[in-house]
A and B are shown apart, each in its own frame.
Chain A
Amino acid sequence: MVFGVILAGGVGSRMGNVEKPKQYLKIGNKPIIIHTIEKFFVHDAFVKLIVLCPKQWMENTKNLIKKYLADGAERVVVLEGGTTRNETIMNSIAYIEKEYGLEDDTLIVTHDSVRPFLTYRIIEENIKYGLEYGAVDTVIAATDTIVESQDGKTITSVPDRKKMYQGQTPQTFNAKKLKELYLSLSEEEKEILTDASKIFVIKGEKVHLVEGEVFNIKITYPYDLRVAESLIQEQNKAK
């Protein structure tokens, strides 16, 4: 079984003076989180879509889903997020285990709620390679040179750009495997391993790459919001 896991756990701190978490801001005529849920909603592979958000936003999230998805809201469940990204993912796995049981091929496609521009192909390839490899990360080739600095003052190394990629989401995991690996981590390791795919890598497991899209942007800063808005408004110019 395949589950969509939409991560809306964080309360954004980088958006300037807006009061709402960024996933609840509107682009076009809908909140960003609804745009993101809709991309998963039309994919029939998902048994259930699990949305994880801050506790104080749960009722609001449920109301939005009812308003915009109407009858389709039955396929979506809203849960409380955890203290970290991985804890949030673990909450979704706990829900799946309780409601459906964890099978060897239970797959979770995890995605940032603030990346509404993902495509059907990206989701499809995440599921395909997730079932085949057990772990998938969505990336695009780096266009800027990446430099490494240990002290934040001088360059330690300049890795070969051809081998560098920028991570996006979705990230897809075999739920049973991720749970096993996560539970095997020490508290100290859990602090450091903020990215779930890194857990697989550290433990020597292969993570397959899926090609993302340059426009699959994460809406983090006020600037991103303006970019996102302009991308959608382009339709008004077309016929």
Chain B
Amino acid sequence: MLNTVYRLVAPRRFEVEFNDINLHAGQVVVRPTHLSICHADQRYYQGLRPAEVMKSKLPMALIHEGIGEVVYDPAGNFQCGDSVIMIPNTPLEQDQVIAENYLRSSKFRASGFDGFMQEHVALAPDRVVPLDPSIDKIVAAFTELVSVSVHALRRFDAIAHSRRNIVGIWGDGNLGYITAIFFKAMFPDVKLYIFGVDQEKMSQFSFADDTFSVMDIPSGLLIDHAFECVGGEPSQKAISQIIDHIQPEGTISLLGVSEYPVPINTRMVLEKGLRLFGSSRSGREDFLKTVALYKEHPEIIGYLSNIVGAQIEVRTIADMNRAFEMDIHKSIGKTIMIWNK
């Protein structure tokens, strides 16, 4: 079936192209309904990736956070009209030890191949996760980002030692906020401290046990484990502070993306016997866990709706540009495209 694809062909320029979806390949055909813009999409849109990367990846449809409705499923596992979340990570092999999102062979939507800015998206059946229709679709649109936090929290649970009296999260942006919400849902008995720079943003973390300005952390304050949700250049300062305030043998979960190598005080990492581990992207298990948590803790949806920014109905390419331009000028929050293509 001919399918309209809206590919970025050059910075700030989308063009219509077509592919042919094979209706007999066992794939589920989903019509996107709500798409959420991520920093990674913006780096392509604004042409901020290195020139050779832009050249090798474009033309490519952007967006890896989104939900939709099933229009065709030859296996009959889904009914037409079922709400579903689309998983952007696409493994090409199975591995008993390494998670699908860390396999070097896995492809990722809007990074290695076309993302969700299409009329229809054809996905392998295990790349589609049912979404309870009662869940707010605007919030559900960025479930992928949420699943990245849930993935990191599951790794934390598997890796961190059992003394978990106090845990700190560095970062008061979207990722820090989402990680904090789910930390409280998954580890309700552990004290959670937030470390950030913006008092206004930190006031939203009402469910946390305390918040601290990174300019003014009490010297005697100690935490058992930490999450770094800062990214970029400031992540160096954040990791350094974490190392200062963490107890011996604590774990530091790194989630913030930086374009540059970050220097780390390895002397203290050695002396304290710390464990640093990275987390990136997510897999099917993380999506299933996320959806289960939505159901178990309905209050989560309310918390997540606090970071919804602009909602833009998209019918034309001009609307797509408008959505990306508005997203650039936001201070915090997620820009959602209500996709009507």
Contact = CB atoms under 8 A, between A and B. Distances in A.
Given A117-B2, A234-B59, A42 B29 contact: yes
A120 B119 contact: yes
Contacts of A44: 71, 80-81
Contact of B1 (A39, A211, A235, A238): A39
A72 B23 CA distance: 10
Interface residues of B, number: 30
A30 interface: yes
Contacts of B112: 239
B218 to A, nearest CB: 50
Contact of A116 (B2, B72, B113): B2
B2 A235 contact: no
Most buried by B among A29, A42, A44: A42
Interface stretch (B11-19, B169-177, B330-338): B11-19
11 contacts: A117-B2, A117-B18, A119-B341, A120-B119, A121-B315, A121-B341, A215-B16, A232-B19, A234-B17, A238-B59, A239-B57
Interface in B310-336: 315
B23 A41 contact: yes
A28 B20 contact: yes
A38 to B, nearest CB: 4
B60 A239 contact: yes
A238 B112 CA distance: 10
Given A35-B2, A119-B4, A234 B18 contact: yes
Interface string B18-30: 1110011000010
Interface of B: 1-2, 4-5, 7, 16-20, 23-24, 29, 31, 57, 59-61, 71-72, 80-81, 112-114, 119-120, 315, 340-341
A181 B17 CA distance: 40
A239 B2 contact: no
Contacts of A183: none
Contacts of B18: 117, 231-232, 234-235
B71 A235 contact: no
A35 B1 contact: yes
Contacts of B24: 70
Interface string A109-153: 000000011011100000000000000000000000000000000
B121 to A, nearest CB: 12
Interface in A202-239: 211, 213, 215, 231-232, 234-235, 237-239
A215 B317 CA distance: 13
Contact of A42 (B1, B4, B340): B1
A42 B119 CA distance: 13
B17 A235 contact: yes
